[in-house]
Chain A
Amino acid sequence: MPEQHILSVDNLQKKYGDVQVLKDINVSMEPGEFLVLVGPSGCGKSTLLSCISGLTEVSSGAIQIGGKDCTHAEPANRDIAMVFQSYALFPNMSVERNIGFGLEVRKVADAEKKKKVADVADLLKIEHLLHRRPAELSGGQRQRVAMGRALVRDPKLFLFDEPLSNLDAKLRVTMRTEIKRIHQATGASIVYVTHDQIEAMTLATRIVVLKDGVIQQIGTPHEIYNTPVNAFVADFMGSPSMNLMSGTATPDEGRIRLEIPTPQGAPIELVDTTTAPEVFPNGPTEVLIGLRPEAMTDQKLNNGQNLQTANCLLEVVEPAGADTYAVVHLGGTEAIARLSADAPVQAGEMSPITFDLSKISYFDVTSGNRL
Chain B
Amino acid sequence: MRRTLLQSVFLYTCVFAVAIFTTGPLLWLVTMSVSAPTDLTEVPLRWIPSEFDFSRYGALLDIDGGSGERFLSALRNSILTAGGATAIALFLAIPAAYSFSRRNASMVLLFAFLATIMMPPITYILPLYSTFSSLGMLNKTITLVIVYTAMLLPFATWLMKANIDVLPLEVEQAAFMEGASTAYTIRTVVLPLALPAIAATAMLSFLVAWDEFFYALIFTNDLSAKTLPVAIADFSAGRVTDYGVIASVGVLATLPPAILAICFQKFIVSGLVAGSVKG
Contact = CB atoms under 8 A, between A and B. Distances in A.
In the complex they form, do A and B come into direct contact, defined as C-beta atoms under 8 angstroms apart? yes
A105 B171 contact: no
Given A90-B189, A92-B192, A105 B174 contact: no
Closest A-B pairs by Cβ, 8 of them: A92-B192, A76-B179, A88-B174, A102-B178, A88-B170, A84-B170, A105-B179, A88-B171
Interface string B184-200: 10001100110000000
B176 interface: yes
B179 A90 contact: no
B178 A88 contact: no
A149 B179 CA distance: 12
B180 A105 contact: yes
B8 interface: no
A90 B181 CA distance: 15
Contact of B180 (A81, A84, A85, A101): A101
Interface string B135-178: 00000000000000000000000000000000010110111111
Given A75-B173, A101-B178, A106-B179, 15 more contacts: A55-B177, A74-B176, A75-B176, A76-B176, A76-B177, A76-B180, A82-B173, A88-B168, A88-B170, A89-B171, A90-B171, A92-B192, A101-B175, A105-B178, A149-B174
A75 B177 contact: yes
A89 B168 CA distance: 10
B179 A55 contact: no
Contacts of A55: 173, 176-177
Given A91-B193, A92-B192, A92-B193, A81 B177 contact: yes
B28 to A, nearest CB: 47
A76 B175 CA distance: 9
A105 B76 CA distance: 42
Interface residues of B, number: 17
Interface string A86-105: 10111111000000011001
Interface in A151-196: 153
Contact of A149 (B178, B181, B189): B178
Contacts of A149: 174, 178
A53 B170 contact: no
A92 B181 CA distance: 18
A80 interface: yes
Contacts of A153: 178
A86 B170 contact: yes
Which has the most chain A C-beta neighbours within 10 Å: B168, B171, B177, B179? Answer: B177
Given A88-B170, A91-B171, A76 B192 contact: no
Which has the most chain A C-beta neighbours within 10 Å: B170, B179, B184? Answer: B179
Nearest to B179: A76
A102 B192 contact: no
Contacts of A85: 170
Nearest to B176: A75
Which has the most chain A C-beta neighbours within 10 Å: B174, B184, B192? Answer: B174
B175 A82 contact: no
Contacts of B180: 76, 101, 105
Contacts of A76: 176-180
A311 B76 CA distance: 97
23 contacts: A74-B176, A75-B176, A75-B177, A76-B178, A76-B179, A80-B177, A82-B173, A86-B168, A88-B168, A88-B170, A88-B171, A90-B171, A90-B174, A90-B189, A91-B193, A92-B192, A93-B188, A102-B178, A102-B179, A105-B178, A105-B181, A106-B179, A153-B178
A153 to B, nearest CB: 8
Contacts of B184: 105
A161 to B, nearest CB: 9
Interface in A8-56: 53, 55
Contacts of B170: 84-86, 88
Interface in B188-245: 188-189, 192-193
A168 B201 CA distance: 39
A100 B91 CA distance: 28
A106 B177 CA distance: 12
A85 B171 CA distance: 11
Contacts of A101: 175, 178, 180
